[in-house]
A and B are shown apart, each in its own frame.
Chain A
């Protein structure tokens, strides 16, 4: 006789999966997210994993995590703390206890809670027996043991058998959230479509986990999170790197320029290259180059030949590409450079997020070398800003640097699928064959963009390159006055982009006590913190920047309407110093974090309360 368990309706729930890297944590997280998306929950995810492919097993350093925040209400951040924690071993428990809400459900794989594992996790006492978890709903599930039992006749070796454990966890979660198992089964069929043997085993384990949860009576309540109140239409679960790849594809199709990606694998940007090599079916040229430099240089070559040239990288690669980007600036060719930022300097924290490449993007080249700098701010709007970067690169004939980060790259959220016909036009400044007036550095009087004549076109042969060129004619010129004119034109061309980008938006009242400023990937947490404080009745607004150079024209007007301004960044204050030099008439407070982690909503709210002179919560 099955006990009827109470069902709790929740507006949102945060679930965290944690275990050894190699336990399939990322897979389980992705499966849970996709299932949530499928039933219409709004969501935000945050995968957090070590740099090593298989870090030492059972150690706190080796713990791989995947946090997912699902909701009936609007979800913009993966949440500070979890309602449900899955800990596959003691190390996973230890690493995550401070990120768990009081009273949370903690599911542990009891098969791994033994003295050997305690020692590896550097526990002195048994955390399950020392009373430290008394205030939580702890589910002691023999996950490893039962999984092995389920698959013992499947002819899998022990290692492969143990890899299916994550589906036992998934099964428990499906029951806990009153989900239809069929969705999870379909996910597995798709994921393992080339390994049919694994489909069977994983589905059996998934069902076993579900039945276990239903039978064991260890879980006091299950959750139901209703679908989100989103506009009608088609949706999918979208991560930042895929969104960038697809935004570029969309811009290429819209502009009728072939997409050319020249790239070299680097964490956390590699998935963009991996995504684009899969799109040969729509004609993409995605070239894995011999190094970062060849990536950008081949993209410039492709742009010269009429493609939308793109290169993708992370901080160390951006450093290597800086000479190439300068070549793009002086030859005035369209070029999109995507920098998925990570912790630096040097190899730094390859798998962790940071916003510390901003000044490199703005100023990290020799010579006067301006280009457009944009930042995407959510996993899904990586699509919009990749498209926007390509539009501006083509229409203004210039390199555009798009800053994403590790948090956006791996995180995901619901994406409302657009129609190509709804995306903005891209005007390509092409020249007709045999145009007698064509000169390489003749310009569009409005944008100052030069015109794009490509090899193969009749009557337009010309030579460009890294040497300074004479205005209009494009001949080599060492004339001092010409160099000054060309330098000024290159800067003015970027400044004029301000007429082709939208105004800066403010979330909340357009005036008040505190304006929170952020840029790029911190949007989710800043938005959530500001919204919560607005709901508490405080005079606080948010301006999240996507356009860094040039800044939207209405920025001084916005800043002038607030008593305090605080610039929040995951670096030592790079955007703040940029604003201080561009708009010195305002006073900027700072809130900075350099831990390779996103902001917490709680720490942001504490800072804002302090600025507003409110007592701390």
Chain B
């Protein structure tokens, strides 16, 4: 961020339009990213978008930055190599629920565990779009899809829960029809030092239309979602008349003014305390009992892999008498032969 140079939305637009389906949530996400990037102050040449395979993984072709469209599930590994090679770059990973939760699950959890400073945009439409409608690891249990005519059998992954299990330090959730929310959260993700995971609840107009309708429709969204901000009370509803309290070991939805509940009783969101177990409860909240938690749920400081790695390099350089490859060749057990025949 020291290379401050004012960029605009236009800097990140491509000449050609994105080739997602009309009405796909991808278009809004792209627009939000293009609006968010100038706010981060990062030099445009220092931004790299990496992806795996899937609809969302076409992202790097649609944004005017350095881009690398990789292999199915392997975007996290490619991004890791880029970031370790040049920690000065701002590295973004565009990925989907199939790409990161299924085929790339291993790379996904290890990226979080290592905590490289990479921003993950996880497009979660709970379906395989590019291969035309098979279930994904986030598809709700019992769903009928092309490959589950009798309903899916296994429990879906919750990306936030998985991220915390993998020692993740930053998790946020947004929905694709709320540009303002996305922009705000993407900027937060970019400024977080370490791996930041943003789960984007995304609509697939073709294969899973209205999958998130309960939280996207104007009538329902205020009651069905709660937007969390660090240091602010956990309130929701059209007039912020509802809130969350802790009862025994569970979260509970309450109405302000009912049963003697006042605003003072409402929990205050603490995103930065890594021991705050409410992060875990918040990502697990599901309709109809709870609203869906949105915004930055967890944002904890931790050392990054690349900083520690380059720190070790610096210490080794300072301590070692070997300064280059010639020195290395001549180190340890070597011996000299004179130019004569034996003896």
Contact = CB atoms under 8 A, between A and B. Distances in A.
Interface of A: 34, 37-40, 72, 187, 190, 226-237, 246, 249-250, 253, 258, 260, 262, 279-283, 285, 287, 289-291, 293-294, 297-307, 309, 323-324, 327, 331, 417-420, 454-467, 476
Given A236-B332, A301-B78, A464 B71 contact: no
Given A190-B333, A463-B61, A246 B81 contact: no
A463 B67 contact: yes
22 contacts: A187-B333, A232-B336, A232-B337, A234-B330, A236-B334, A246-B328, A250-B325, A260-B81, A260-B85, A262-B77, A281-B320, A287-B81, A293-B74, A293-B107, A294-B110, A297-B81, A300-B78, A418-B329, A460-B45, A462-B66, A463-B66, A466-B53
Contacts of B339: 231-232
A34 B332 CA distance: 11
A456 B68 contact: no
Contacts of A418: 329
Given A297-B71, A466-B70, 6 more contacts: A246-B325, A249-B328, A289-B80, A294-B107, A327-B70, A466-B69
B316 interface: yes
B178 to A, nearest CB: 28
A258 B66 CA distance: 20
B65 interface: yes
Contacts, number: 212
B303 interface: no
A236 B335 contact: yes
Contacts of A237: 333
Of B60, B84, B88, B110, the most chain A CB neighbours within 10 A belong to: B84
B217 interface: no
Nearest to B16: A475
Contact of A249 (B51, B309, B313, B325): B325
A435 to B, nearest CB: 13
A290 B107 contact: yes
Of A253, A301, A454, the most chain B CB neighbours within 10 A belong to: A301
Contact of B85 (A39, A302, A323): A302
B259 interface: no
B50 to A, nearest CB: 7
A231 B66 contact: no
Contacts of B313: 280-281, 283
A456 B45 contact: yes
A455 B78 contact: no
Nearest to A304: B68
B278 interface: no
Contacts of B106: 290-291, 294
A234 B331 CA distance: 11
Nearest to A295: B77
Contact of A309 (B68, B81, B342): B81
A549 B51 CA distance: 32
Contacts of A454: 86
A33 to B, nearest CB: 10
Contacts of A465: 51, 60-61, 67-70
Nearest to B305: A287
B131 interface: no
Contact of B77 (A187, A233, A293, A420): A293
Given A233-B336, A234-B335, A246-B325, A228 B342 contact: yes
A445 to B, nearest CB: 26
B84 A279 contact: no
Q: Give the dominant DSSP class at A's interface.
A: mixed
A10 to B, nearest CB: 12
Given A38-B333, A307-B85, A287 B67 contact: no
B64 interface: yes
A297 B74 contact: yes
B323 interface: yes
A290 B76 CA distance: 11
Contacts of A324: 71, 74
A461 B65 contact: yes
A301 B334 contact: no
B89 interface: yes
A356 to B, nearest CB: 26
Given A300-B81, A420-B325, A462 B67 contact: yes
A463 B325 contact: no
B44 interface: yes
B337 A40 contact: yes
Closest 6 CB pairs of A and B: A465-B69, A301-B81, A463-B67, A298-B81, A281-B320, A232-B339
Interface string B22-44: 00000000000000000000001
Contacts of B309: 285
A327 B74 CA distance: 11
A142 B213 CA distance: 84
Contacts of A297: 70-71, 74, 77-78, 81, 107
A236 B324 CA distance: 18
A262 B83 CA distance: 13
A263 to B, nearest CB: 12
Nearest to A227: B342
B104 to A, nearest CB: 9
A246 B329 contact: yes
A191 to B, nearest CB: 11
B325 A282 contact: yes
B88 A456 contact: yes
Contacts of A456: 45-46, 86, 88-89
B319 interface: yes
A281 B317 contact: yes
Contacts of B325: 246, 249-250, 253, 282, 420
Contact of A234 (B47, B82, B334): B334
